[in-house]
């Protein structure tokens, strides 16, 4: 075990993949000499060479489009999109090519492409640097979408993503890059929890609180605060956003009867809506109250002096827990 920051844990996972499989190639902007704007690829070009850690011209569609060609040739490209808000020029290649190639070619051509996306807010950035675009991709069949919340998962799941024969979008919570955690670098990938599986990170019995990525830490803090008031919150880290491990969420809700979902992304048409609908379909009779969503607002990501109002924080999440429990909350009197 070693104590690593989130960013170093991803770096260690990338290094392991580069060592284990000569077909793994990293591509992106500033990932070479600079080591990436967040230093996630620090030192990798020096150790593996410019042909395996490739600084590309500044064209996101081409980063993904050439990765498709490399995958056609048998490579496993790992593409870095520098910031969440820069992924849209690559949207067509991701949605029309990466996601559909296996289906289009009737399984003959695999697209083992990993697309790393630093995402989410909370670091005081200018426009386009704090977005949460995951729902665009969870709505696209053919992609697997995951988001990691701690250094150990970051280390393990980047390797699982690269080893997957399906394309994977790997969303990294950039505001957690400097958080430290224990990482077992000897962990055996073959026995690690499948990247499709969610995990209960705080067990509880009164309310199920579902989240992923940057808000897992916030949700855990909220659960601790709720415990002080005698409310037992079960926190689930989804880890996989497409597909979602609904059986695990369902089992929790059958137990608690109450569901709160929180994410930074805007509310309407977001993952919270999908989770609320699916859980309602699956175990309506076990619900004691309507599912509650605590999310970013349906606005463009705001300028940074206001982002603390936009991002769900501990208190807003607790307010949502109170709504689920039918306790006094900010919307008391409005329901129904």
Partner 1 sequence: MRSTVLTDEPGQDAYKSSNPGISAASPRRTGGDLVQLISPEGERISHPEFDLWVSDVTDEQLCSLYEDMTAIRRIDTEATALQRQGELALWPPLLGQEASQIGSGRALRDDDFVFPSYRDNGVAYCRGVEPTDLVRAWRGNASSGWDPYRHNIATQQIIIGSQSLHATGYAMGIQHDGADSVAVAYFGDGATSEGDVNEAMVFAASFQAPVVFICQNNHWAISEPVRIQSHIQIADRASGFGIPSMRVDGNDVLAVLAVTRIALDRARKGGGPTFIEAVTYRMGPHTTADDPTRYRDANELEDWAAKDPIARLKALLRTKGLLTEEVEARTQAKADEVARNLRAGVINMPDPAPLDLFKNVYSTPNSWIERQKDHYSRYLESFSGSTQEGAL
Residue numbers at the binding site for partner 1 (CB under 8 A):
25, 51, 56-57, 59, 61-62, 64-75, 77, 89, 92-93, 96-97, 102-110, 141-142, 144, 164-166, 196, 242-246
Q: Is 294 helix (H, G, I), strand (E, B) or coil?
A: strand
* Beta carbons within 8 Å of 314's beta carbon, 6+ residues apart: 218, 221, 222, 225
The closest of 171, 170, 145, 314 to 242, measured between CA atoms, is 145
Residue 90 Cβ vs partner 1, minimum distance, rounded to whole Å? 10
Residue 110 Cβ vs partner 1, minimum distance, rounded to whole Å? 6
314 burial type by CB count under 10 A (0-12 exposed, 13-18 middle, 19+ buried) = middle
Q: Is 129 a catalytic residue?
A: yes
Which CB sits closer to partner 1, 67 or 148?
A: 67
Backbone φ/ψ region at 172: left (φ over 0), alpha (ψ -120 to 50), beta: beta
**Residue 18 CA, distance from chain mean position:** 22
Catalytic-labelled residue, pool 102, 129, 263, 310: 129
Residue 31 Cβ vs partner 1, minimum distance, rounded to whole Å? 15
Could you tell me what percentage of the chain is helix, strand and coil, using 3-state DSSP and rounding each to the nearest 5?
A: 40, 20, 40
Q: At what angle do helices 6-20 and 151-163 cross, to 10 degrees?
A: 30
Residue 236 Cβ vs partner 1, minimum distance, rounded to whole Å? 16
Which CB sits closer to partner 1, 271 or 324?
A: 271
* Beta carbons within 8 Å of 143's beta carbon, 6+ residues apart: 94, 98, 99, 137, 166, 167, 168, 169, 242
Which CB sits closer to partner 1, 59 or 308?
A: 59
Which CB sits closer to partner 1, 145 or 148?
A: 145
Residue 29 Cβ vs partner 1, minimum distance, rounded to whole Å? 13
Find the distance separating the first CA and the last CA of the chain, reported in whole Å: 51
Helix (H) or strand (E) holding 173: strand 168-173
Which CB sits closer to partner 1, 226 or 253?
A: 253
* Beta carbons within 8 Å of 317's beta carbon, 6+ residues apart: 209, 215, 218, 219, 222, 260, 262, 294
Q: Residues 96, 137, 161, CA angle at the centre, nearest 5°?
A: 95
Which CB sits closer to partner 1, 22 or 328?
A: 22
Residue 162 Cβ vs partner 1, minimum distance, rounded to whole Å? 14
The closest of 45, 309, 11, 336 to 172, measured between CA atoms, is 11
Q: Point out the residues that are catalytic.
A: 129
């Amino acid at each position: 075990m070693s104590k690593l920051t989130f960013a170093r844990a991803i770096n260690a996972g990338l290094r392991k993949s580069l060592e284990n499989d000569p077909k793994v190639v990293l591509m992106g902007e500033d990932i070479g000499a600079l080591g990436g704007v967040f230093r996630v690829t620090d030192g990798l070009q020096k150790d593996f060479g410019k042909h395996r850690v490739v600084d590309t011209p500044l064209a996101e569609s081409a980063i993904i489009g050439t990765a498709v060609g490399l995958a056609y040739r048998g490579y496993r490209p790992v593409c870095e999109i520098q910031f969440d808000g820069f992924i849209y020029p690559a949207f067509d290649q991701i949605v029309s090519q990466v996601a559909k190639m296996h289906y289009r070619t009737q399984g003959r051509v695999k697209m083992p492409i990993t697309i790393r996306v630093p995402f989410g807010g909370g670091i005081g950035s200018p426009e386009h640097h704090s977005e949460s675009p995951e729902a665009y991709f969870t709505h696209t069949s053919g992609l697997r979408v995951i988001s990691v919340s701690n250094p150990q998962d970051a280390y393990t799941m980047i390797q699982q993503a690269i080893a997957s024969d399906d394309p994977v979008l790997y969303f990294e919570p950039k505001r957690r890059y400097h958080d430290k955690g224990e990482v077992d670098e000897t962990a055996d990938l073959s026995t690690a929890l499948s990247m499709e599986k969610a995990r209960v990170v705080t067990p509880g019995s009164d309310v199920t609180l579902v989240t992923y990525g940057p808000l897992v830490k916030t949700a855990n803090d909220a659960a601790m605060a709720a415990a002080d008031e005698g409310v037992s919150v079960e926190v689930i880290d989804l880890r996989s956003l497409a597909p979602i491990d609904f059986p695990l969420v369902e089992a929790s809700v059958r137990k608690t009867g109450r569901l709160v979902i929180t994410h930074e992304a805007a509310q309407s048409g977001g993952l919270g809506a999908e989770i609320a609908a699916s859980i309602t379909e699956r175990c309506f009779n076990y619900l004691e109250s309507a599912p509650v969503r605590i999310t970013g607002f349906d606005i463009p990501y705001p300028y940074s002096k206001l982002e603390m109002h936009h991002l769900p924080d501990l208190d807003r999440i607790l307010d949502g827990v109170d709504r689920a429990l039918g306790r006094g909350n900010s919307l008391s009197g409005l329901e129904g």
